[in-house]
Amino acid sequence: MLYKSIILAVDLTDESIKVANKAVALCNAFSAELHVVHVIESLNYAYGGDVPIDITDIQNQLRQTAEDKMSLLLDQLDTPNKNYQITQGGIESEIHRIAEEKHADLIVVGSHCKHGLALLLGSTSNGVLHGSPCDVLAVKVNDPNKEK
């Protein structure tokens, strides 16, 4: 199966470049178009509804920080076919929506090693996998055994 449209979903942490490099390698191998996506989880969404203060300034600061970090990440990627999108909402649902919109064949996400309660509750990469309109590749970004 050939991949022609690949979504790279990043959290814009320092580990994003490792995930991005895997996505770029796949794009180069398949001559695919890369769509880099970052979702800012809406504070209203994160806290389950109404927030009793005006959060416009906070959301604007989050977006500006994301734009700055996205620019730095894109500068490091070695592929001519890259687009990016920063959106706001539920992380998994926005990634699914964009994958459908872009007719993606593959979503690439980072997978953090989780332990205890975080493992039981799931992760973003697990949430992206369930309900995805296409294949999902979870790239392991840290190994707790190597950190010991």
pLDDT in tens, 65-122: 999 999 999 999 987 767 999 999 888 999 999 999 999 999 999 886 554 444 444 5
What is the pLDDT, as a whole number, of residue 106?
96
What is the pLDDT, as a whole number, of residue 49?
58
Find the mean pLDDT for residues 40-44. 77
Instruction: Give how many domains the chain has, as a whole number.
Output: 1
Helices 16-30 and 56-76 cross at an angle (nearest 10°) of: 50
Which is nearest to 24 in space by CA: 33, 37, 13, 14?
33
Residue type, 100: E
Helix/strand/coil for 120: helix
The answer to whether residue 102 is domain-embedded is yes
Q: Is 58's pLDDT higher than 50?
A: yes
The answer to whether residue 111 is domain-embedded is yes
CA dihedral 127, 105, 18, 64 (to 10 degrees): -70
The answer to whether residue 146 is domain-embedded is no
What is the pLDDT, as a whole number, of residue 146?
52
Find the mean pLDDT for residues 26-50. 82
The answer to whether residue 9 is domain-embedded is yes
**Please, which residues bridge with residue 137 across strands?**
108
Q: Is 44's pLDDT higher than 80?
A: no
What is the pLDDT, as a whole number, of residue 107?
96
Handedness of CA 48, 53, 56, 57 (dihedral sign): negative
Range of the domain at 10: 5-140
Q: Is 139's pLDDT higher than 80?
A: yes
Q: Is 144's pLDDT higher than 70?
A: no
pTM for the model: 0.82
Which is nearest to 114 in space by CA: 94, 137, 144, 90?
144
What is the pLDDT, as a whole number, of residue 45?
57
State the Cα–Cα distance between residues 49 and 42, nearest whole angstrom. 10
CATH number at residue 72: 3.40.50.620
State the Cα–Cα distance between residues 108 and 140, nearest whole angstrom. 11
Among the ranges given (38-42, 45-49, 90-94, 101-105), the one the predictor scored with the smallest mean pLDDT: 45-49
State the Cα–Cα distance between residues 12 and 10, nearest whole angstrom. 5
The answer to whether residue 42 is domain-embedded is yes
